[in-house]
Structure 1
Amino acid sequence: MKAYVFPGQGAQFVGMGKDLYENNPLAKELFEKANDILGFRITDMMFSGTDEDLRQTKVTQPAIFLHSVILAKTLGDQFQPDMTAGHSLGEFSALVAAGALSFEDGLVLVSKRAMAMQKACEATPSTMAAVLALADEKVEEICGSIQDEIVVCANYNCPGQLVISGSIPGIDAACEQLLAAGAKRALKLNVGGAFHSPLMEPARAELAAAIEATTFNTPVCPVYQNVNASPATDPSTIQTNLIAQLTSPVRWTQTVLNMIADGADHFIELGPGNVLQGLVKKINKEVTTEGMQ
């Protein structure tokens, strides 16, 4: 069974989507539609901007979404997913590709999400850190032991690779303890804030209103959502899970394991980079992986 997966923030690169735009009339039409919806030429930044241009939150998230979703659209009848999933931002791409959201509504929500997250980051200085080679349970225990600060597990990426999120003093204290407990690495990431933590609550509240006002449809296949790593097809369930996503962890390891348990043996990553292919292989070496950019 084919599982299509969609990357999240960090996968962007200058030149992303340019070949699609130049060689596929449908892709060009959708990219131009996106420029109109966003009110600026995101394609200029994607195709020939600088790394700095692409790192702007208002650009990064829509850019990755557009590259991923337009790839799926250009596949036409070849795109026959048995299931889809996306990592964080990629969940919006997965939902649009599976028909739960229209292209236009998905792009508007992603743009609003990016702006709301940026505001939350500016309101409370915060950060994230990657933790390598320590059991999830030990990381959870140490995060829970930090007093008077917010520190939580944010991304369960694959066995032995977890990202924590929280206040800067909290992350500093946790990193020190994680290294002492035997982590191979506990390294602060160059990110704008504490994504997938309670510190994103202002963004969650702002995005919730937009999600509730948007029409969701029954997707053509189950979409495995970050919040509970479970398949969903009911529009109201999808909405509820999507609203909870910003302040909840991304359960990617559990998602991939559940997809495999439900029959997935061929994972196809649509969008920039190949991060998810690597994570899937670390979760289960037996499955087939491929990517399209």
Structure 2
Amino acid sequence: MKAYIFPGQGAQFSGMGKDLYEFSDKGKQLFQQANEILGFDIAKTMFEGSAEELKETKITQPAIFLHSTILAKMMGDKFKPDMVAGHSLGEISALVANDTLDFADGLQLVSKRALAMQQACELEPSTMAAVLGLEDSLVEAICADVEGTVVAANYNCPGQLVISGDVKAVELACEELKKAGARRALLLPVGGAFHSPLMEPAREELAKAIEATEFKNPKCPIYQNVSTFAVTDPAEIKKNLIFQLTAPVKWTQSVQNMIKDGATRFIEVGPGNVLQGLVKKIDGSVETEKAVH
């Protein structure tokens, strides 16, 4: 069975999507539609913008979403998923790809999500850190003992967990994690504490937009970051998507469940190849590949 997976923030690069724009009229038309929906020329920023410009959350998130969803649409009949999943922001790309959401609705949600997260980041100095080489349970226990807000945010693969919270608490947690034997506990260059309780204002904002958007029956199950199991009910998909901003991304568990349910081939749709690497670390026996149009 084929599982199509969609990347999140961090996969962006200057020049991304230019080949999709130049390759077909379909790609061109979708980029032009995106420019109209967003009210600025995101295509130009993606094709010509600097790495610094592309790092802004309000640009990064729509840019990655556009790269993934336009690529999926350009694959046409070759795109035949038995199941889908997306890492963080990639979950919305996955929902467009499996027909739960329209392209335009998905892009509007991504744009609102990015702006709401940006605003939440500005309320309190916050950050994230990558922790390598420790058991998840030990990282969780150390975070729970640290004063302030710091939680496990991304379960990327065994031995690789990202923590998130207020700057002081994350720094303290990093010191304690190194003492406990972490190979690395490194602050990440991100705008704030994604997938932590500090994203609550963004969750409330996004919840209104999600509730007002039509979610249809998907053509295949999605394994969501919050629940990690196959979901096909539009009401449940909505609920999980709302909680995603303040809950951890359980990528390891989602991939394990997809494999348990029969996935033997994981195809990454979008910029970069980070997810293929994570899948291989979760289970080296499955095949991974990059989607091409």
TM over 0.5: yes
Which residue of 1 is the match for residue 265 of structure 2?
266
1:216 correspondence with 2:215? yes
Q: Map Cα deviations across residues 143-192 of structure 1 (whole Å, 9 max, x no partner).
A: 11112x00100000000000000011100110010000000000011100
Tell me by how many angstroms 1:231 deviates: 1.1
Which residue of 2 is the match for residue 29 of structure 1?
29
Tell me by how many angstroms 1:262 deviates: 0.2
Q: Map Cα deviations across residues 264-284 of structure 1 (whole Å, 9 max, x no partner).
A: 000000000000000000000
Which residue of 2 is the match for residue 178 of structure 1?
177
Q: Map Cα deviations across residues 230-256 of structure 1 (whole Å, 9 max, x no partner).
A: 111100000000000000000000000
Q: Map Cα deviations across residues 105-158 of structure 1 (whole Å, 9 max, x no partner).
A: 0000000000000000001110000000000000000011112x0010000000
Give the letter aligned to residue 222 of structure 1. Answer: P
In the alignment of these two chains, the number of paired residues is 292
Which residue of 1 is the match for residue 5 of structure 2?
5
Give the letter aligned to residue 196 of structure 1. Answer: H
Q: 1 CA distance for matches of 2:65 and 2:131?
A: 27
Regions of 4+ moved over 2 Å: none
Give the letter aligned to residue 116 of structure 2. Answer: A
Q: 1 CA distance for matches of 2:230 and 2:124?
A: 33
Which residue of 2 is the match for residue 114 of structure 1?
114
Which residue of 2 is the match for residue 237 of structure 1?
236
Which residue of 2 is the match for residue 281 of structure 1?
280
Which residue of 2 is the match for residue 71 of structure 1?
71
Q: 2 CA distance for matches of 1:271 and 1:67?
A: 5
Q: Map Cα deviations across residues 186-244 of structure 1 (whole Å, 9 max, x no partner).
A: 00111000000000000000000000000000100000000011111100000000000
Superposition pairs for residues 76-115 of structure 1, below 5 Å? Answer: 76-115=76-115
Q: 2 CA distance for matches of 1:81 and 1:241?
A: 21
* TM norm structure 2: 0.99
Give the letter aligned to residue 267 of structure 2. Answer: I
Q: Percent identity?
A: 67
Secondary structure of 1:40's counterpart equals coil
Q: 2 CA distance for matches of 1:237 and 1:292?
A: 28
Q: 2 CA distance for matches of 1:259 and 1:292?
A: 18
Q: 2 CA distance for matches of 1:98 and 1:111?
A: 20
Which residue of 2 is the match for residue 128 of structure 1?
128
1:194 correspondence with 2:218? no
Gaps of 5+ in 2: none
1:156 correspondence with 2:136? no
Q: Map Cα deviations across residues 73-123 of structure 1 (whole Å, 9 max, x no partner).
A: 011111110000000000000000000000000000000000000000001
Gaps of 5+ in 1: none
Tell me by how many angstroms 1:292 deviates: 2.7
Give the letter aligned to residue 116 of structure 1. Answer: A
Q: Which moved more, 1:111-120 or 1:226-235?
A: 226-235
Secondary structure of 2:15's counterpart equals coil
Q: 1 CA distance for matches of 2:71 and 2:65?
A: 10
Give the letter aligned to residue 106 of structure 2. Answer: G
Give the letter aligned to residue 89 of structure 1. Answer: L
Give the letter aligned to residue 173 of structure 1. Answer: L
Give the letter aligned to residue 32 of structure 2. Answer: E
Q: 1 CA distance for matches of 2:14 and 2:25?
A: 21
Give the letter aligned to residue 7 of structure 1. Answer: P
CA RMSD of aligned residues (A): 0.6
Tell me by how many angstroms 1:24 deviates: 1.1
Which residue of 2 is the match for residue 146 of structure 1?
146
